[in-house]
Amino acid sequence: SRSINLAVIPGDGIGQEVVAEGLKVLSAVLPQETKLETKEFDFGAKRYHATGQTLTDEDLAELKGYDAILLGAIGDPSVPSGVLERGFLLKLRFAFDHHVNLRPSTLFPGVDSPLAGQPEIDFVVVREGTEGPYTGNGGTIRTGTPQEVATEVSLNTAYGIERVVRDAYARAQARPRKKLTLVHKNNVLVHAGRLWTRIFEQVGAEYPDVTTDYLHVDAATIFLVTQPERFDVIVTDNLFGDIITDLAAAVSGGIGVAASGNINPSREFPSMFEPVHGSAPDIAGQSKADPTATVLSVALLLRHLGYEAEADRIDAAVRADLAGRAGQPARSTVEIGDALAARVSG
Ligand code: IPM
Ligand code: MN
């Protein structure tokens, strides 16, 4: 019989509340014989204030032993901006080589989109997760003077591009429409742009059944709003991916339903699954947060570990739950979690 050894990081604010519901649905969907073991970790603002630590080498060594990580949200206004983002989230993504940052966008029936006419939206962004301008390369000279110069160097390796592009082709090939769009800015960022474009074309030769397309990132933001149905799988670099996935979430039901996976496909390190939304301190502790994004992240987690049928059941439960919301009074975090758990277990 199988087992899942899961590291759970509720984190700050609503992270606590949504993760509890995610775990509830996970327990409900797993077959009796699958053993679920969880251990909770206290990373986040509280620990930072108590110890000054965000994520130590010992923490990483311990986390490494888990099959996967479920994260709620990290961040609090009491911690200076950037400290937890870089010291926890990015550190973990880099340490565990989470090079595939997977962010699906589906506009589920019954969910409102700000776009007129409720377009069809069902695409997934494969955002590179370990390179680009996120590596901290660069610096300042003449610091603090009127002549100060700051550089932020985008790192792009052939190895790093190829592995994420290959992953995106494989995902496109497995989907009915088999279409992959490269998003970059290769008319201006010529060095990185040429490398991405060349590798995109080279790897594409191995996937003749996948239709390819290219868009500059600025044009992509227009089409994400005016013609979201033209997208199936998008592959792009770390920063472009950060920006367009927030836009994608906004047009397909909002961050309340946006899930993500920080994936290391080799499984050499545990992958981490998290809702795209943050800790929302303004509504924390009031059972107002929608746990749906976390529950959908649990489905991504299950798919990654090979529990396809269980992941399908969660997706179907979310779809049914969202479809039934119109005209109903708002429910609490716990009520939505209970409803989803009930749907997946029977
Ligand atoms: C995200 C976030 C992070 C990112 C921040 C918090 C570092 O915006 O997960 O998209 O830029 O990757
Ligand atoms: Mn972001």
pLDDT tens digits for range 3-49: 999 999 999 999 999 999 999 999 999 999 999 999 999 999 999 99
Paired residues of 230 in beta bridges: none
Question: Which tokens belong to 164?
Answer: 């994420």
> What digits encode the pLDDT tens for the residues 286-318?
999 999 999 999 999 999 999 999 999 999 999
Distance 127 CA to ligand 2 centre (A): 11
Instruction: Report the pLDDT value the prediction gives residue 116, as an integer from 0 to 100.
Output: 81
Distance 327 CA to ligand 1 centre (A): 34
Name the amino acid, one letter, at 113. S
Phi, psi of 207 (to 5 degrees): -125, 65
CATH number for the domain harbouring residue 59: 3.40.718.10
Instruction: Report the pLDDT value the prediction gives residue 1, as an integer from 0 to 100.
Output: 60
Which ligand lies nearest to the CA atom of residue 134 in the structure?
1
283 is in an annotated binding site: yes
Global confidence as pTM: 0.96
161: in domain: yes
Whole-number average pLDDT of the chain: 97
Kindly report the protein residue whose alpha carbon is nearest to atom 10 of ligand 1: 242
Distance 85 CA to ligand 1 centre (A): 7
Instruction: Report the pLDDT value the prediction gives residue 5, as an integer from 0 to 100.
Output: 98
Instruction: Report the pLDDT value the prediction gives residue 204, as an integer from 0 to 100.
Output: 98
Range of the domain at 170: 113-252
Could you identify the atom of ligand 1 that is nearest to the CA of residue 260? Answer: 9
Paired residues of 7 in beta bridges: 39, 69
Instruction: Report the pLDDT value the prediction gives residue 94, as an integer from 0 to 100.
Output: 98
- Are residues 60 and 22 part of one domain? yes
- Are residues 131 and 32 part of one domain? no
Q: Could you give the number of structural domains in the chain?
A: 2
The residue to mutate among 242, 243, 263, having the most atoms of ligand 1 within 8 angstroms of its beta carbon, is 242
Kindly report the protein residue whose alpha carbon is nearest to atom 9 of ligand 1: 276
Domain end, chosen from 234, 252, 270, is at: 252
- Are residues 83 and 1 part of one domain? yes
Distance 81 CA to ligand 2 centre (A): 14
Question: How much is the ipTM here?
Answer: 0.99
Instruction: Report the pLDDT value the prediction gives residue 117, as an integer from 0 to 100.
Output: 87
Cβ neighbours around 317 below 10 Å, total? 23
Distance 343 CA to ligand 1 centre (A): 32
317: in domain: yes
- Are residues 287 and 210 part of one domain? no
Q: Is the dihedral of CA 291, 293, 296, 301 positive or negative?
A: negative
Instruction: Report the pLDDT value the prediction gives residue 184, as an integer from 0 to 100.
Output: 98
105: in domain: no
DSSP H or E stretch at residue 226:
helix 217-226
Domain end, chosen from 252, 271, 292, is at: 252
Q: Are 302 and 88 in contact (CB under 8 A)?
A: no
Which ligand lies nearest to the CA atom of residue 83 in the structure?
1
The residue to mutate among 74, 85, 100, having the most atoms of ligand 1 within 8 angstroms of its beta carbon, is 85
Active site residues: 134, 185, 218, 242, 246
Q: What is d(CA 295, CA 24) in angstroms, rounded to the nearest whole number? A: 9
Which ligand lies nearest to the CA atom of residue 273 in the structure?
1
106: in domain: no
- Are residues 241 and 141 part of one domain? yes
Give every residue of the chain whose pLDDT is below 70, as ranges.
1, 346
Kindly report the protein residue whose alpha carbon is nearest to atom 2 of ligand 1: 242
- Are residues 118 and 228 part of one domain? yes
202 is in an annotated binding site: no
- Are residues 218 and 130 part of one domain? yes
Q: For residue 239, which of 125, 158, 133, 139 has the smallest C-alpha distance? A: 133
- Are residues 141 and 56 part of one domain? no
- Are residues 125 and 67 part of one domain? no
- Are residues 337 and 320 part of one domain? yes
- Are residues 266 and 164 part of one domain? no
Name the amino acid, one letter, at 216. H
Could you identify the atom of ligand 1 that is nearest to the CA of residue 89? Answer: 7
Cβ neighbours around 26 below 10 Å, total? 26
- Are residues 155 and 268 part of one domain? no
Instruction: Report the pLDDT value the prediction gives residue 333, as an integer from 0 to 100.
Output: 98
In the structure, which protein residues have their CB atom closer than 6 angstroms to any atom of ligand 1?
85, 89-90, 242
Instruction: Report the pLDDT value the prediction gives residue 30, as an integer from 0 to 100.
Output: 97
Environment of ion ligand 2 (residues, CB < 5 A): 242
Domain end, chosen from 186, 218, 252, is at: 252
